[in-house]
Every structure is written in structure tokens, then in C-alpha cells.
Amino acid sequence: MSLAVSATAAWQSERNRLLGIAYRMLGDFGHAEDVVSEVAIDAVRQERKTDGRRVESWPAWLTTVCVRRSVDRVRQLAAVREDYTGPWLPEPVDTSRLPEETVANRELLSLTLLHLAEQLAPEARAALVLHRAFGMSAPEIADILEKTPAAVRQMISRAERRLDIDPDAPAPRTKDRAALEKLVGAIEQGDIDTVVAMLDRDAVLWADGGGKVKSAMNPVFGAERIGRFFVGILGKAAAFDPVQPITAELIAVNGEPALVLRHSGRADVLVLDVLALDGGPDGTIRGLRQISNPDKLTRVSL
């Protein structure tokens, strides 16, 4: 087998896992695919070197290059996202369509955590992703990030606290499906009082229209203001279609239940951060993330 074929075969074998790493780093599947494609080019170039050096472990080499390229891409995108029209939210994906290696153990795959992880420094985000989602040890991550194992452990610990992640939990917290189903009925019936009652008093709604559709340009804070936001949506939907102004149904997004709202000739994906109360059927919704930018809805089942 030639060197070039060996590099290509190694990349093909690792591609899906690398996509899982890059997507969790970037929150954008298109950019993740770009990064992984660049890694393939780097791998072929590495084998074509004539200095006689050999790659001892292609999986380790490919992971290192993928992470470092993802860190660089995060820094490049930071300036772009500052100029984004309105709040920027990660791109949702239908994980049932993704290979098992990409989904991995679903850790750090929820859209809520992907959004929260934007506040982390790129290398801290990389350390958290590699440790939580792919089970890598601090010494392994240290080699990739060119840090000491102690520094990596500290980055992971701080990132977990920042994102309110239980370090002993084997998987991310799940949404309360009963609460989601109750919200579906309330929205379709225009029962805003029930919607407001299901929200935490200090709940926050982020709406990402990307300048492509009308949406809230700033986060909406508080249950009452979020209720008025939905009143506005219902009013516009009724003017657009008096017979069936709005429909809501459960779909799967990033491995979790979410809602798709169809109204005013468009579809919105609504992802909820639900904190279950005493294990009961209801929940307190403390965060809502509404993705309306049609460019970001190409990888979900609508």
C-alpha cells in the first residue's frame, strides 16, 4: 500500500469521529465538514514529505490536526459572528441521520450546551469536548493542545463549572417530554397563560433569524416578555392564515426532543432548556432557543 493511500484510508476510517469533534467545537456542521476536509489534505501532504519521518498513529495525528484546525476556525469565526444579524445560535442537526462515530455518546451535543460553550476559550472548549464526549485523558489532550496535564484538568474543571455540567454525569440531562407536549398544545391553542406558567420567571429566549426572516434582534428576558413575544407571533400567524395560523410538533434535534413551529409561511425550530421539578410531568423552562434562519434548518427533519 502506498503512503498516499495509507493516509487517505486512515482519514476515511476516522472521518466520522473527526466530524463529531469539529461540530462540537464549531456549532456549524458546514464548517465542521470544511475542517475535516482540510485535515485530509494535511494528511496526504504529511505522507508525501521526503524527510523519512513516519506517522506512528494516524488516529492520534488526525485528531491533533483536527482539533488545532478547529481551534483556529473558532477564532476566525468569532469576528464573523460579532457582525451576525441578531443572536447567533448553533446549527441544529438530526442526529438520527449521523453515523454512530459522529454522535459518539451525545455528550456536549445538545444545542443548549453548544450555545453555552460559545463563552469558553477555544482551547478550553477543545479540552472539554475531547474529555467529555470522546473520553480522552488529560495527558492525551495535553499532547494535542501543547499544555501540561495539570493545566488541561484545570481547564476542564473550570469549563464544567461555567456550563453547569455535572462531572460525574455520564450523559447530558434530558428534556422533560411531558412538558414539551404540554407546550405544543398551549401554543397551538393560543393559550399564552399556560406558556407563561411553564416558564421560569427569569427565563431567556434567543431567536436566530440571521437577517433572513423577522425575529427578535436581542435576547428576550423574563417569562412575561417571552409571553408577549409569542402573542406577537400568534397575531402575525393569524393574519397570514386565519384557518390554521400555527402548528407545533415534536421532532428530534441534536439527540433531544425539540419543537418545530410552522406559521406565517415558515418553519422555526424551538429548543428548550427544561429543568424537571421533583420528577413530575411539568417542568420549568429556563431557556428557549428559536432557530428561524432557513440556512440553518437544512439538516433537520421538517
- Tell me the mean pLDDT in the region 139-168: 92
pLDDT at 53: 65
pLDDT at 118: 93
pLDDT band at 176 (very low <50, low <70, confident <90, very high): low
**Chain mean pLDDT for the chain:** 88
Residue 52 has pLDDT above 60, yes or no: no
The ranges assigned to domains in the chain are: 3-162, 177-296
Cβ atoms of 292 and 208 within 8 Å: the answer is: yes
pLDDT tens column, 252-287:
899 888 899 999 999 999 998 886 544 444 558 899
pLDDT at 1: 36
76 or 2, which is more confident: 76
pLDDT band at 5 (very low <50, low <70, confident <90, very high): very low
pTM, two decimal places: 0.90
Residue 66 has pLDDT above 90, yes or no: yes
pLDDT at 302: 78
pLDDT at 175: 55
CATH number of 177-296: 3.10.450.50
pLDDT band at 177 (very low <50, low <70, confident <90, very high): confident
Residue 100 has pLDDT above 90, yes or no: no
